[in-house]
């Protein structure tokens, strides 16, 4: 495995891993939230921001509670404990953002391309953490699962709330027996 690591490759992988950093994902969430606010998609904004905040909190809590040591001889400085991978968890936000933004795009091909790109980013970020020896495979899988679970739950709640709010504004059907 040591033969696979070159300075150039490590530099490229560090750029990829930065796509899953808290700072990068926070900027992505902020930009997407502004876009959604302009389009008056308030429920989606709440779901996205709450989901991202809950992913951050869950990563912090899990790292403190599990306190798993990191792999030996890392190629990048990493702090805190190893499980779950925060970068992998935060990278799932790219997929959530892609799903929200895809609704504004025309054509199935554009939507599929955007979602595919987001999935590739999330996978690349997770694998970059393994390559840089700052996480084990299980740390990355745990981060992906944590992020996907929280974001999926927030999305489901947003769908239910939207459905209920939409049905409240519709008049009751007339005629017929009660």
What pTM value is reported for the model? 0.85
Backbone dihedral angles phi then psi of residue 176, each to the nearest 5 degrees? 75, 170
Task: Confirm if 82 and 135 have CB atoms less than 8 A apart.
Answer: yes
- C-alpha to C-alpha distance for 21 and 26, rounded to whole angstroms: 8
Q: Which residues contact 17 (CB under 8 A, 6 or more apart)?
A: 76, 87, 125, 128, 129, 132
Q: Both tokens of residue 152?
A: 């999926």
Q: Which are the catalytic amino acids?
A: 87, 135
Render each residue's pLDDT in the chain as its tens digit; 178 residues.
Answer: 556 667 788 888 899 999 999 999 999 999 999 999 999 989 999 999 999 999 999 999 999 999 888 888 877 888 888 899 999 999 999 999 999 999 878 899 999 999 999 999 999 999 999 998 899 999 999 999 999 999 999 999 999 988 887 776 656 556 555 4
């Amino acid at each position: 495995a040591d033969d696979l690591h070159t300075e150039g490759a490590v530099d490229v992988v560090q750029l990829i891993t930065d796509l899953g950093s808290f700072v990068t994902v926070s900027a992505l969430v902020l930009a997407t939230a502004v876009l959604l606010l302009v389009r008056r998609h308030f429920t989606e904004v709440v779901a996205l921001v709450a989901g991202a905040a809950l992913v951050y909190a869950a990563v912090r809590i899990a790292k403190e509670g599990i306190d798993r040591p990191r792999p030996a001889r890392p190629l990048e400085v990493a702090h805190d404990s190893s499980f779950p991978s925060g970068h992998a968890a935060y990278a799932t936000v790219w997929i959530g953002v892609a799903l929200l933004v895809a609704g504004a795009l025309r054509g199935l091909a554009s939507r599929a391309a955007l979602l595919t790109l987001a999935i590739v980013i999330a996978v690349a970020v997770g694998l970059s953490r393994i390559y840089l020896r700052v996480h084990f495979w299980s740390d990355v899988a745990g981060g992906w699962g944590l992020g996907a679970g929280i974001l999926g739950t927030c999305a489901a709640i947003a769908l239910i709330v939207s459905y209920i709010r939409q049905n409240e504004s519709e008049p009751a059907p007339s005629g017929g027996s009660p």
